[in-house]
Amino acid sequence: MSWVDTVIGIAGHARSGKSTLARALADRAGGTVVGFGDLVRQSALARGEDPSDRRTLVAIGQEWAQRDPAGLCAAALSSVGEGCEVLILDGIRHITVLDELERVLTALHLVYLTASEELISNRIAGSYDPRQDPSERDMVFLEQRAEIVLDAGCAVADLVDEVWRAVPWLQLQRMETEK
């Protein structure tokens, strides 16, 4: 992935706003978003399973991250074309996946979104509680390894500003743009 200047990984609890932040960062930086959740949904479809069933997606994601984290990461990274300067990896939820990404990428900046119980409870739709996902156990380790920890309760524009200030390459891009 030597053609990618900066990779921002977004981690956090289910329903913490990872995809919202990823899209906002991509809009601001002109980056490409690759979502691990999208890969898991595609896998569910290929298996003939319901890609909208949260329990199915959790089981597939958990299995893939445990059995073949290198394959999961390779699938995500293979969709990135030449000329991508900023890559945003949306939905890092497993420590095995982070380990593999850190092994293959030289420019990974991990952002972790913290979210209060109240915020997550307000975002849960239906009867399935994502806090019961097995991957939720990895959250404490992902947060500890994050370069940037942000409060998901803040406005998205403020979160984007925080990441923008924290990632050196993005700062350089802004200075070039302002010249």
Asked whether residue 19 carries a pLDDT value surpassing 90, the answer given is: yes
Token pair recorded at residue 35? 């979502």
- Tell me: the pLDDT tens digits for 107-153? 799 999 998 777 777 766 665 565 567 667 888 999 999 999 999 99
Asked whether residue 42 carries a pLDDT value surpassing 90, the answer given is: yes
- Cα 85 to Cα 29: distance, rounded to the nearest angstrom: 9
pTM as predicted: 0.86
Q: Average pLDDT, whole number, for the chain?
A: 86
1 in any annotated domain: no
**Beta strands across the sheet bearing 32-35:** 32-35, 86-92, 6-12, 108-114, 148-151
Length of the chain, in residues: 179
CATH code of the domain covering residue 27 = 3.40.50.300
Asked whether residue 1 carries a pLDDT value surpassing 60, the answer given is: no
- The domain containing residue 15 runs over which residues? 6-178
Asked whether residue 172 carries a pLDDT value surpassing 60, the answer given is: no
Structural domains counted in the chain:
1
The angle at the Cα of 90, spanning 89 to 91, to the nearest 5 degrees, equals: 120
